[in-house]
Amino acid sequence: MEESRQQAQEQLLKILEEQRSLREMHTNAAEEMRKAAEERTRAEAIQRQAEDAAREAEAARQRAEEANRLAEQQRLQAEEGRRAAEAQRQQAEENARRVEQERLQADQARVYAEDQARRADDDRRLADEQRRQAEEEKARADEAKAFAEEQRRAAEEQRIRSEAERVRADEEARSARLQQEQAEQARAEADRKAAEAQAAFEKAQQDLKEGIRPILTPTVQEFEETKRRVQYREGIFHFAVAGISGSGKSSIINAMRGMRNNDRGAFVARTGVTETTSDISRYPDPNTANPWVWYDIPGAGTLAIPDWVYFNAQGLYIFDCIIVLTDNRFTQTDEAIIRNCERFNIPTYIVRSKSRQHIQNVLNDLPLEDDEDEDDPRRSVRAREKYIRETRESIAKNLDRAELSSHPVYVIDKENLVQIAKGKKARDALDERELLDALIAEARKRRVRMVVR
């Protein structure tokens, strides 16, 4: 019996030693988990370094290479941690096997004690005590086994996390390489665009020296800003009247709407000998049934800008139709307006204003025929025909010289235009009716409903 008691005590000491070993293993596993967390933190720092590298140029490439090296070190360390965790797991399984073996030995001791009890009644109580102790040892062994299983599971989870860390480190390294390649491509693209911009700048300078005007195209932002500035509205037809200062733009806008310059009211366009304003003026039609608006565009001669910049600077690209009003001569500004209208596919109408005055000037200078006197009505007819013919020939020559497509030329007078716009018949009418009909047809073609006066 003393020997059995000593054996049981030795077994108890062994079990306590095993429990101490298991606690040490648990501490080691926790330390490994802490190290893995530190490794993950370092991996995240590497990732931030890689992200910063994308915003840098040549310096980003060097930091990306350093990030690659650090990521590889982290991957190796994570792999080493995984192997250590696997070794811990194997050790835990070995401990569990030993605990199971101890449990079997305890069972054998219990069987032996029961056999001893059957042999001797005096030893029964001692055997019962030994059996109880053995059962307690078995319970502790079961607990140790469960703890070992938990350690194994934790070690497996640690291995999985370590593997995930390695995969992330590999992905970060690949991402860093990709960012480096993208940065190099972006730098090459920037160098190419800079070279193209420099070449374009040098070509523009050379073209200006040779008299070649550059083509200016408004941006989307400029387009929207111009629409806001001129109060452009969808469903309304927007007419722009452009020409040099003194060509009678305001008078024509009034006449188109059936008004004279001396009429009173908010709808009357201001007129004067010189250009009244350097800003675009907006004049709605007094008849609210007509969904159209007229704009008086300042003459190029009143602005400190070259003629080839005038079209974009005034935002003429926004209008639905442009009337180019000429007086005595066809200017470079008129040419620039028509050229840009063709670029933007904007309908254009060339109109010669103040024709009654000009016809009278031609009549005054017209020599008498042999069978005529100064009051002969045939002289007025000849003066009218001469003025119209020379006006159209001159503008046609200017369009051909500028390599522009031909356009009809409308010869008008504001007084005739007022009468026709009011629905009356004008005396000595020129092209006023044809001009109004063409403008209304253009508006209808754009699917805007018009009311003919």
Tokens encoding 418: 């007022």
Amino acid at 400: D
Spans of the chain, pLDDT less than 70? 53, 57, 60, 193-216, 264-278, 300-308, 370-372, 447-453
The answer to whether 50 and 179 have CB atoms below 8 angstroms apart is yes
pLDDT at 327: 80
Q: What's the pLDDT score for residue 204?
A: 46
Cα–Cα distance measured from residue 141 to residue 111, given in angstroms and rounded to the nearest whole number: 17
Residue 332 near residue 310, CB atoms below 8 Å: no
Contact criterion met (CB below 8 Å) for 141 and 97: no
pLDDT of the residue at 384: 92
- Res 351: pLDDT: 96
**From CA 97, how far away is CA 90, in angstroms rounded?**
11
DSSP state, residue 295 = E
Short-list 322, 391, 381, 385, CA closest to 354 = 391
C-alpha–C-alpha distance, residues 29 and 22, integer Å: 10
Indicate the angle between helix axes 414-421 and 432-445, nearest 10 degrees: 60
Contacts of residues 396-405 at CB distance under 8 Å and 24 or more positions apart, as own/partner, are 398/330, 398/334, 398/335, 399/335, 399/338, 402/335, 402/338, 402/339, 404/335, 404/338, 404/339, 404/342, 405/342
Nearest of 39, 58, 69 to residue 173 by alpha carbon? 69
Q: Which residue has the tokens 């988990």?
A: 33
Q: Are 451 and 290 in contact (CB under 8 A)?
A: yes
Three-state DSSP string of 165-218 = HHHHHHHHHHHHHHHHHHHHHHHHHHHHHHHHHHHHHHHHHHHHHCCCCCCCCC
SS3 296: strand
Report residue 233: phi and psi, to 5°: -130, 135
Phi, psi of 366 (to 5 degrees): -80, 125
Q: CATH number of 220-445: 3.40.50.300, 3.65.10.10, 3.40.920.10, 2.30.180.10?
A: 3.40.50.300
For residue 441, give the 3-state DSSP assignment.
helix
Residue (of 339, 345, 287, 351) closest to 321 by Cα position: 345
Q: What six digits make up the tokens of 118?
A: 């059957």
pLDDT at residue 210, rounded to an integer: 46
427 phi and psi, to 5 degrees? Answer: -80, 135
Neighbouring-strand partners of residue 349: 323
Q: Can you give the pTM of this predicted structure?
A: 0.53
